Amino acid sequence: MLRASKDQRELDRLAAAGAAADSAYGEILGVRFAGRRETEVAADLAALLRRFGHEQVDFTVVGSGPDGPSRPPSRRSSRACPARRSTGWPAR
């Protein structure tokens, strides 16, 4: 259950998860997007999240191009475009 009040241990774990996500995002920008399925890039992102400290990755959301994550994930990217991430906080 989510609580409105977090103890210091929870705050530290949330900060570590956020830092790992920021690091993974910084590295995924260097991955080739053009010609790959969004699900393939998502698999790379999940591996990066684990490498930077996530114990498990239940899902990732990757979208590219002008329609971003609103497109079906089976489409291939036709050109190199920045990825969007669905995390609830802005990229640094």
Does residue 65 lie in a domain region?
yes
The amino acid present at 54, given as its one-letter code, is: H
Dihedral (CA of 13, 14, 19, 22) sign: positive
pLDDT in tens, 3-18: 678 899 999 999 999 9
**3-state SS, residue 62:** strand
The count of structural domains within the chain is 1
Question: Which carries the bigger pLDDT value, residue 18 or residue 2?
Answer: 18
Does residue 58 lie in a domain region?
yes
Q: Where are the beta strands (DSSP E) in 14-90?
A: 62-63, 84-85
User: Rounded CA gap, 64 and 84, in Å?
Assistant: 7
Does residue 91 lie in a domain region?
no
Residues constituting the chain? 92
Q: What are phi and psi of 59, to 5 degrees?
A: -165, 160
Does residue 62 lie in a domain region?
yes
Q: Average pLDDT of 16-43? A: 91
Domain coverage including residue 37: 11-85
pTM of this prediction? 0.65
